[in-house]
Amino acid sequence: MDPLSDVLSLLKPRNYLSAGLEAGGDWAIQFPDQQAAIKCGAVVYGRCWLSVEGVTDAVRLDAGDCFLLPRGRPFRLASDLGLPTVDASTIFSPARTGGITTHNGGGDFLLVSSRFALSGDHAGILLRMLPPIVHIRAESDHSALRWPVERMMQELRQRQPGGFLIVEHLAHMILIEALRLHMGARDSVGWLFALTDRQIGAAIAAMHEDPAHGWTLQKLAERAGMSRSTFALRFKETVGASPLDYLTRWRMMLAGDRLMHSGDPVSVIALALGYESESAFSTAFKRVMGCSPRQYSRRDLVSVEQGDREAA
């Protein structure tokens, strides 16, 4: 896989609700805290204002625009921000499973949106490099994003057999396409944006392809086709971390996932990720993750047991 697919697969973004909002006339709706979820939306027709708690400037969304709200903050959608708001809970049924909700008669505005929960402790690797509002304006070459949006609208309206799975896959397509388009933003720092750099992206891809390899600064510079000093400086400027720090972080993310899901002993995971001894691996893991591998495993077991009790 490519690095973006690697990270998204590890974070396991789970779409737990996709729905539509059709509004008419003058309206303003206040949405609550999204509970650490990524909100992704696209305007099918009409226009509105988007205001996010803690962000000074509101954003006007026009037909074809897409947005991501990575921080889970409360937000407001309105035809006019000067209008008094109604709480979203009075419009949307708490038990809703999708479909399109009509407000104020509908007809003037249609939004399709999805909410994604990210698994594990690693969500910050993606979320901390995204602004509170990612606004992707409608462009003529955004057909790859328009198609899944329009198809989701159809599925939400028609509610045919198998529609839940289709909408779930379409929601993931919209999320990835939105991230791809945002990656083209200038003057941004982080591994997400570094993937668009041919040379730095090649080094990152090499680390993801074979994380257990004995990578050195020189070897990675050669993959990038750069001198060691130039590569080290440019990598740090582009990614926000040194190449070897990035490698260690990626290895520990993989290790954390295996500790939670594979049942492999620490010694096996350490060897699989390029560490010659369990103690060296454990030291690196604790430095990056804040606890020992065994503590990490026990913590996850406790959270699973708590979730089982709550479900019961």
pTM over 0.85: no
Query: How many residues are given for the chain?
Result: 312
CATH number of 192-303: 1.10.10.60
Torsion of CA 165, 171, 35, 193, to 10 degrees: 140
pLDDT, tens digit (0-9, with 9 covering 90-100), for 94-143: 546 668 899 999 999 999 998 888 765 667 666 777 888 888 888 756 67
Q: Indicate whether 250 pLDDT > 50.
A: yes
Select from 2.40.50.140, 2.60.120.280, 3.40.50.360, 2.60.40.10 the CATH code of 3-183.
2.60.120.280
Cα–Cα nearest to 115, from 64, 182, 39, 188? 39
Place of tokens 């893991």: 285
Both tokens of 269, joined, read 């995971």
Cα–Cα distance between 225 and 192 in angstroms, integer?
Answer: 20
Beta bridge partners of 78: 28, 49
- Could you state, in order of their start, the residue ranges of all structural domains in the chain? 3-183, 192-303
Is the pLDDT at 197 greater than 50? The verdict is yes
- pLDDT tens figures, 229-246: 999 999 999 888 999 999
Within the chain, where are the H helices?
3-11, 124-127, 143-158, 163-183, 191-194, 198-209, 217-224, 228-239, 243-261, 266-272, 278-289, 293-311
181 and 173 Cβ atoms separated by less than 8 Å: no
pLDDT band, very low/low/confident/very high, at 308 (cuts 50, 70, 90): very low
Q: What's the pLDDT tens digit per position in 161-195?
A: 888 888 888 888 888 888 888 887 665 667 888 88
Number of other residues whose CB lies within 10 A of the CB of residue 97: 10
Q: Is the pLDDT of residue 302 over 80?
A: no
| pLDDT of amino acid 97 | 62
